[in-house]
Structure 1
């Protein structure tokens, strides 16, 4: 919760989601775990190349779509960012990347395949990961494929995923611009 309380959301819409997540956690002591129904927090990462020109995505087996990496928090996860780190390693096979501990964005979405009890809402906290597109990734059993995509030639996916990717690419490119001006 400390991560969300300290985070300065980049927009009123993101701040409204932050407040919703905090209210959920205040009302549900188990709000970070999958058994919390119908809503629970999840954590993940959007992986961008250091130049900001490519994004690593996975073709998620259950969703049947190209998505960023992420999932449910587990008891051993010390924080949201550590849950995102674990999910990224498990789903991508990456072992070398920089994970920004400041949330990139929040995203609430329905997931029909998460629970036998019905539709759940993932209250997702996304972080930015930066990695070299050097072929060190791997496909996990949760994915059909893991692949780098040029940002100007992304695969068909959910519209809100493009917004998340745009935010990740903008943060990486903003850092690059800051380095050039230094």
Structure 2
């Protein structure tokens, strides 16, 4: 894989693709991706079924499940990953969140979230044949509609974002804390999904 940049899109500029284009791209990206792991392929097919059944399936308004996008921000030269201490979850996570109408594609959504939450402007996503591709998928339960509301499901599409060597992170209001961790010294308050994603990032950028 190689790394490539993607323009940030917080709002849809004139002539930009609309929500239907984002849906079309998500289907394209997931149909084109062929994970070697059978469980990951089962998740990929489940995501595609969700999108086939839900035209608005990429947005938080789609309940009980919706697609999200995230990215592990890594500095391969230093062998480290940047994690955020999420205020709602209380765990160290990769950067990520909900898709927005201005996002042209899933990769743009992942890169936008990674840039906003890391404060690093020059992140680049890993690509294959010049196209950003997912590193893995993760399906998990959350309460993104409110702590007193029922749990819903995030169908997360996870990418790898490479930071410039020695990049300095800047914490945002979305984080309780933001720190670099050595690949081999991840904090205790991480789950298997984060550890698996970091291992995948290490494999792909090593």
Q: Is 2:129 the counterpart of 1:103?
A: no
Alignment correspondent of 1:59: 85
What is the distance in 1 between the residues matched to 2:93 and 2:161? Answer: 14
Which of 128, 142, 157 matches 2:160?
Answer: 128
Shift of 1:14: 0.6
Number of residues paired by the alignment?
172
What is the distance in 2 between the residues matched to 1:84 and 1:69? Answer: 8
Alignment correspondent of 2:4: none
What is the distance in 2 between the residues matched to 1:129 and 1:135? Answer: 12
CA RMSD of aligned residues (A): 1.2
The structure 1 segments of at least 4 consecutive aligned residues displaced by more than 6 Å after TM superposition are none
Alignment correspondent of 1:148: 180
Deviations 1:72-124 (A, max 9, x none): 00000010000001111111111012212110000000013x01441011000
What is the distance in 1 between the residues matched to 2:192 and 2:76? Answer: 24
Alignment correspondent of 1:73: 99
Runs of 5+ in structure 1 lacking a partner?
Answer: 174-182
Alignment correspondent of 1:180: none
Query: Could you tell me the TM-score, scaled by structure 1's length?
Result: 0.90
CA contact (8 A) 1:94 1:136 kept: yes
Runs of 5+ in structure 2 lacking a partner?
Answer: 1-26, 127-131
Which of 22, 26, 31 matches 1:5?
Answer: 31
Shift of 1:61: 1.2
Shift of 1:165: 1.1
Alignment correspondent of 1:115: 145
Deviations 1:22-55 (A, max 9, x none): 0000000010000000100000100111236111
CA contact (8 A) 2:111 2:123 kept: no
What is the distance in 2 between the residues matched to 1:56 and 1:38? Answer: 30
Q: Is 2:194 the counterpart of 1:166?
A: no
What is the distance in 2 between the residues matched to 1:106 and 1:10? Answer: 12
